[in-house]
Structure 1
Amino acid sequence: MKEIFLPNGMEAMQASYTEYPLEEFNQNPFIQALPPIADKPAVIKKLSMNPSFSEQERKMETVYRLQMINRLYQFFQPLPIHLEIWDMINSLLLQGYLARNPFDPAYKRYLHETGKQIINRSFDINSRQNFRTTAGCGALIGFSGMGKTTSVSRVLSNIPQIIVHNEYRGQHFNQIQLVWLKLDAPSTSSLKALCLQFFMRVDDLLGTNNYKKYVSRNASVDMMLPLIAQLSQNIGLGLLIIDETQNIKGRGADQIMNFFVNLINSGVNLAIIGTPGAYSLFGDELRIARRFTGNSEIIFNNMEYNNEFKFLLESMWRYQWTRKFTPLTEEFAKVIYDETQGISDLIVKLFVYSQQKAISTGKEEITVELMRNVASKKFKLMKEMLNAIRSGNPYKIAKYEDIRRIEIVSTIQQSEVDATEKALKTEKYKEIRKNKVVDVPPIPLMKKAKRNIEYADGDLRLLLKNGVKQQKTPYEILIEHGFIDDMLEWDVGVDP
């Protein structure tokens, strides 16, 4: 694809159309202008980022090597979950554009009618007559520090954000296609703030003046929502990514949720990124949206101590700028996992900090003791969180919503569970209708352990315990031992 620049200086790509073996893709310029579908080896190559490195650099002066170590922050080793993220984003784009063919008469008629309704202020965002969307929703929910945003950015870097069309199959086609747009969820959970961010970001990218044209200080959300839906169609927006969705809380959450669902219904794909704190918020709506695209929910928990974790270490381990190379051993792997609990951001940082410590102190060698010492000093703020993960205690982990582990249940497994529950309920109802008694094994009662507690003399609990044996009420016992005065003995005087 040829690189061009828009009048505002933003980089864009001149449309180049790919012929697919799938007929439905070959009739839509929005789809054909996307990068060709890549197989697994090609995806791995596109996602990989290997920093510049030479063994000769180990002989350079200390001040330079300390700077070279920072190249490790550019390191990116694709793992199976990153391939899932690639598939999710590309599938959303391809499937979402199917119903939005700019040369389809029905779609053009829908856009024209929607525009008239907005002008006449009769537009209903919940009404989608004569338009059946193929848009869907995807979610990436996981631990903080696992590289969710970085992973999505790596995928998006292989997809042009702005594509300029001029001619399609001999027909004049003057169109700017905004393939994807990434926004951050407002910390205030304000739908208006999200809408304003949308208009401003589109204007920055395309050099338009939508914010000035449509938005005023007194513009209401109800006024902006249909404009966003129509603008998304006009610029061919393929995918809207909302990051930091765990910020959506409180009263504004319902408004934003309804906006997301309505946006999908209008034909725009949605991908959300967030920590486990966002999972419960989006659960119900994601189940609704998944009917369009299948299972597009990816859970990004911390890594387990397995071959995948070891593969990541092996891929990274050769980037050593210490004068003495330290081979990777099982002991190193166990120490790194123990100190980072499989959080990828901490894995890279521990490796960087350890090399910096080894070089700056003149030891020039990574050791287990050095790594332990570095982790104890550099990860002080993370200590309580790491201890909670390490313990596996759900009550300790629950204190930190960013590290709450989400158990992964596949759609097939969930369907089997739902089918089993439904079958059991059906059989139960049949038994009730036939007035049959269903034998249910009794639930064994847990016997409380008897506690033999010895109380000291004068202890109120001992007095009450002995009084019960004598069949006396607590009131009688308290009076008998002087804890309550008998009001009849009070000498009450009355002033004349």
Structure 2
Amino acid sequence: MEMPKNMRKAIYLDPGIERYRGNPLIEALPPILSVSQIREGLSGNIKFDPKDIYAEGSRRVHIIAQLLDDFFQPIANHLQLETKLSIMIRQGYVGRNLDDGSLNAHMQNGYERIMSGDLSVFRFEQAKSTARSLSLIGCSGSGKSTTLNRILATYPQVIFHEKYNFTQITYLKLDCPHDGSLKNLCYHFFRAIDEILHTNYEAKYALKRHSVETLLALMSQIANVHAIGVLVIDEIQHLNLKGSGGVEKMLNFFVTLVNVIGLPVIMVGTPKARPIFETD
């Protein structure tokens, strides 16, 4: 069977770290990169034709404007961010293993949450979370999203484990809804999964009159069903458009994703989002 273009068949490699060994979700990831490999993987070079210097002035202006589109020079902060992301993805998978049943325990707990509509309930208490979270705050246009996209591009987004008949999503990136609502965040999540896997989660869940609590439980369960390595929420400053109760509710949900569901989360935004993280 021919694999979709965005999907790669799992090839298991020794991760080189004892705690990562024996976990197919980690062993199927690309090897941990050295500093020089990170720099080479993130770098983008200027592409031009020397003949363009003789082009007509009106055309040359367009050529010059495009020169920096592919240029990217990694600096120390970019290398540190890649290392943090690499740790987050792999560390998050430590507590979700296809081989030892820990991922199944998380999915069973997710089923209980869907049936009860309560994100705090569980069936297997031993389902521990090894996930971490990260907030990335910077001025608009400073390159936050560009850097993250380049780092994420070093990973195959979808990996198919033929041995387990399991589809793994290494990362999922979506924008926070402009109205800051949890319901629309769930819709964005379902739509993003559908675009990657050609599923019908949005039609299956978004068109029905589910409560926000049920949608959040479904979102959490789908995150484990496809073993999402890291969830990136961009434009987190849009949460400011909601009342404080809405902000607290959404942040509590993010905390639940990390501490209970076991899903690493990266929240990206402008300095307008800083007060959100300072709420009690």
Is the TM value for this pair above 0.5? yes
Q: Is the 8 A contact 2:174 2:232 kept in 1?
A: yes
Q: What is the match of residue 136 of structure 1?
A: 132
Q: What is the match of residue 206 of structure 1?
A: 197
In 2 relative to 1, CA 109–242 (structure 1 residues): closer, same or farther, beyond 3 Å? closer
Q: Is the 8 A contact 1:242 1:273 kept in 2?
A: yes
1:200 to partner: Cα distance: 1.4
Query: Which residue, out of 180, 193, 207, partners 1:189?
Result: 180
In 2 relative to 1, CA 202–279 (structure 1 residues): closer, same or farther, beyond 3 Å? same
Alpha-carbon displacement from aligned partner over 1:356-403 (angstroms, at most 9, x marks no partner): xxxxxxxxxxxxxxxxxxxxxxxxxxxxxxxxxxxxxxxxxxxxxxxx
Q: What is the match of residue 252 of structure 2?
A: 258
Query: Which residue, out of 139, 154, 157, partners 2:153?
Result: 157
| TM-score normalized with structure 1 length | 0.52
In 2 relative to 1, CA 11–146 (structure 1 residues): closer, same or farther, beyond 3 Å? same
SS at match of 1:37: coil
Query: Which residue, out of 23, 29, 37, partners 2:24?
Result: 29
- Equivalents in 2 of 1:105, 1:81: separation in Å? 37
- Equivalents in 1 of 2:44, 2:103: separation in Å? 41
Amino acid at match of 1:86: E
In 2 relative to 1, CA 131–283 (structure 1 residues): closer, same or farther, beyond 3 Å? farther
State how 1:255-294 maps to structure 2 within 5 Å. Answer: 255-265=249-259, 266-283=261-278
Q: What is the match of residue 83 of structure 1?
A: 79
> 1:238 aligned to 2:262?
no
Query: Which residue, out of 144, 163, 166, partners 2:162?
Result: 166
Q: How many correspondences in the alignment? A: 272
Q: What is the match of residue 107 of structure 2?
A: 111
Q: Is the 8 A contact 2:113 2:121 kept in 1?
A: no
Amino acid at match of 2:254: F
Amino acid at match of 2:22: Q
Task: Name the stretch that deviates more: 80-89 or 106-115.
Answer: 106-115
1:68 to partner: Cα distance: 1.6
Q: Is the 8 A contact 1:195 1:225 kept in 2?
A: yes
Alpha-carbon displacement from aligned partner over 1:412-434 (angstroms, at most 9, x marks no partner): xxxxxxxxxxxxxxxxxxxxxxx
Query: Which residue, out of 139, 146, 161, partners 2:142?
Result: 146
Amino acid at match of 1:219: H
1:106 to partner: Cα distance: 4.3
In 2 relative to 1, CA 40–113 (structure 1 residues): closer, same or farther, beyond 3 Å? closer
SS at match of 1:72: coil
Q: Is the 8 A contact 1:114 1:123 kept in 2?
A: no
Higher RCO structure (Cα 8 Å, ≥6 apart): 2
1:113 to partner: Cα distance: 4.8
Alpha-carbon displacement from aligned partner over 1:201-236 (angstroms, at most 9, x marks no partner): 111211112222233342110111111111111111
- Counting aligned pairs with the same residue, the percent is 35
Q: What is the match of residue 351 of structure 1?
A: none
Of structures 1 and 2, the larger Rg is shown by: 1
Q: Is the 8 A contact 1:110 1:130 kept in 2?
A: no
State how 1:37-436 maps to structure 2 within 5 Å. Answer: 37-69=32-64, 70-115=66-111, 117-118=112-113, 121-122=115-116, 124-128=118-122, 129-167=125-163, 173-249=164-240, 250-251=242-243, 252-265=246-259, 266-283=261-278
RMSD (CA atoms): 1.9
| TM-score normalized with structure 2 length | 0.90
Question: Unmatched 5+ residue regions in structure 1?
Answer: 168-172, 286-496
Q: Is the 8 A contact 1:48 1:77 kept in 2?
A: yes
In 2 relative to 1, CA 99–150 (structure 1 residues): closer, same or farther, beyond 3 Å? same
SS at match of 1:138: strand
- Equivalents in 2 of 1:262, 1:198: separation in Å? 16
In 2 relative to 1, CA 34–127 (structure 1 residues): closer, same or farther, beyond 3 Å? same
- Equivalents in 1 of 2:106, 2:168: separation in Å? 18
- Equivalents in 1 of 2:195, 2:182: separation in Å? 20
In 2 relative to 1, CA 14–276 (structure 1 residues): closer, same or farther, beyond 3 Å? same
1:278 to partner: Cα distance: 0.9
